[in-house]
Amino acid sequence: MTRRRTFWEERIEENPGHSAWYIQRWRTMRENGDDIVGEGRTIDAMVPRGARILDAGCGQGRLGGYLAACGHTVVGVDVDPALVAEAERQFPAATWRQGDLAELDLPAAGIDAGFDAIVCAGNVVTFAAPGTQRDILRRFGDHLAPGGRAVVGFGAGRGYAFDTFFDDVEGAGLLADLRLSSWDLRPFTDGSDFLVAVLRRTA
Ligand SMILES: C[S@@+](CC[C@H](N)C(=O)[O-])C[C@H]1O[C@@H](n2cnc3c(N)ncnc32)[C@H](O)[C@@H]1O
pLDDT of residue 48: 98
Average pLDDT over residues 186-191: 96
**CA-104 nearest atom, ligand 1:** 20
**CA-127 nearest atom, ligand 1:** 15
Count the neighbouring beta carbons within 10 Å of the beta carbon of residue 10: 13
Q: How many CA atoms lie within 13 A of 198 on its CB side?
A: 22
**CA-36 nearest atom, ligand 1:** 9
pLDDT greater than 80 at residue 15: yes
Beta pairing class for 95-98 and 194-201: unpaired
What 3-state DSSP class applies to 20? helix
pLDDT of residue 195: 98
d(CA 157, CA 149): 26
Average pLDDT over residues 57-68: 98
**CA-100 nearest atom, ligand 1:** 20
pLDDT of residue 114: 96
Rounded to the nearest integer, the mean pLDDT of the chain is 97
40 touches ligand 1 (CB under 6 Å):
no
137 touches ligand 1 (CB under 6 Å):
no
57 touches ligand 1 (CB under 6 Å):
yes
Per-residue pLDDT tens digits for 72-126: 999 999 999 999 999 999 999 999 999 999 999 999 999 999 999 999 999 999 9
Q: Where are the alpha helices (DSSP H) in the chain?
A: 7-14, 18-31, 38-46, 62-69, 81-90, 124-127, 133-142, 162-171
Q: What percent of the chain has pLDDT over 90?
A: 98
User: What residues contact residue 127 under an 8 Å CB cut-off, 6+ apart?
Assistant: 6, 7, 8, 57
d(CA 135, CA 168): 9
pLDDT of residue 203: 74
Beta pairing class for 115-120 and 144-155: parallel
pLDDT of residue 2: 85
Per-residue pLDDT tens digits for 150-185: 999 999 999 999 999 999 999 999 999 999 999 999
Confidence of residue 12 (pLDDT cuts 50, 70, 90): very high
Nearest to 175 by CA among 144, 143, 146, 197: 197
Choice from 41, 127, 136 to test ligand 1 binding pocket (greatest atom count within 8 A of CB): 127
pLDDT of residue 104: 98
